[in-house]
Amino acid sequence: MTKYKKLKRSGEGGVRDFLQLMKPSLSIMVVFSSVISYLLVPDVMYDWWRIVLLFAGGMLVTGSANTINQVVEKDTDAQMKRTAKRPVASGRLSPEQGWGFAIFTGALGIFVLGYYFNWTAATLAAFSLFLYAFVYTPLKKVNSVAVLVGAFPGALPCLIGWVAGYVPGQPINWLGGIIMFGIQFLWQFPHFWAIAWVAHKDYSNVGFKLLPSEKGPTKFTALQTVVYALLMLPITVAPFFVGICSYNNVKGMTGLGLIILANIFLIARAVALYSRMDVPAARRVMFGSYIHLPVVLLALLLAKS
């Protein structure tokens, strides 16, 4: 505690550190999927002010969850090279500052979603925040089922964005929202297992259990990555069969073609991991997944009915 107070008095913790608590690069990607899901809602208003509000509300809630994660895992983060410089782990911000920032951003984000969109979206956001910060985060040291649990708050932004596209009192087409949720839910498994493969040594040293096999990076882990990459194909084309998207025009056919190519790309990288069983192959799956999801989401928007 003395260390935290000393750093606080010296002014080493500044605006940049509070922004870093939100993990902006990760948060932007999560909120991007929420905004695209919002725009895919039939007859949604293309109002830039509402899009900005949705983006801001999503960033605040996601940033709050990421902040709580860093406060709870400050000692663990301090032991890992890739996270040791985080604001709370390094002591530039105190845990109390982190908690205060998390409460403020979380409450403000939930209010923005509820007041400007609807309280169903706000409730889903609050549930997502709770699940990520207080269930998934501590579960990471207990059992690898944490990845499954974490996939729920990781995918809920898509459902939140979809629900936010409906005005209060308007019937919600839950099927469309569940499909968008399913896309991001399944995507997280090859994505996160690739990250856990690359960072396995760091993770295992601090007691994180994040790979499907207790023996670490194994053929079983690689096979699971291939299976979930294959499952991405049917779920990403499902919007074409429920009326969200159409392939009866040039834009629709282009969008469908991009989705198929993006899935082939991800599957090929997952198969290469199964074949090579090394960190470079896992890293290619990880970076490939960062390309795959935005391409799929933008292609769906291109093909919107």
Q: Which of 20-24, 128-132, 175-179 has the lowest mean pLDDT?
A: 20-24
Query: In the prediction, which pLDDT does 53 show?
Result: 97
How large is the average pLDDT for residues 227-243? Answer: 96
Quote the CA–CA distance of 296 and 73 in Å, as a whole number.
33
Tracing tokens 């990845």 back to the chain, one arrives at 147
Query: In the prediction, which pLDDT does 75 show?
Result: 87
Query: In the prediction, which pLDDT does 7 show?
Result: 43
Delimit the domains of the chain by residue range. Answer: 1-172, 175-305
Query: In the prediction, which pLDDT does 81 show?
Result: 81
Query: In the prediction, which pLDDT does 298 show?
Result: 97
Q: What is the DSSP string of 73-137?
A: THHHHHTSTTTTTSHHHHTSS-HHHHHHHHHHHHHHHHHHHHHHT-HHHHHHHHHHHHHIIIIIH
How many CA atoms lie within 13 Å of 266's alpha carbon, on the beta-carbon side?
Answer: 32
How confident is the model over 94-125, as pLDDT tens digits? Answer: 999 999 999 999 999 999 999 999 999 999 99
Quote the CA–CA distance of 65 and 53 in Å, as a whole number.
18
Q: Which of 141-145, 228-232, 295-299 has the lowest mean pLDDT?
A: 141-145
The CATH topology of domain 1-172 is Tetracycline Repressor; domain 2 (1.10.357)
* pLDDT confidence bin for 13, thresholds 50/70/90: low
Does the pLDDT at position 9 exceed 50?
Answer: no
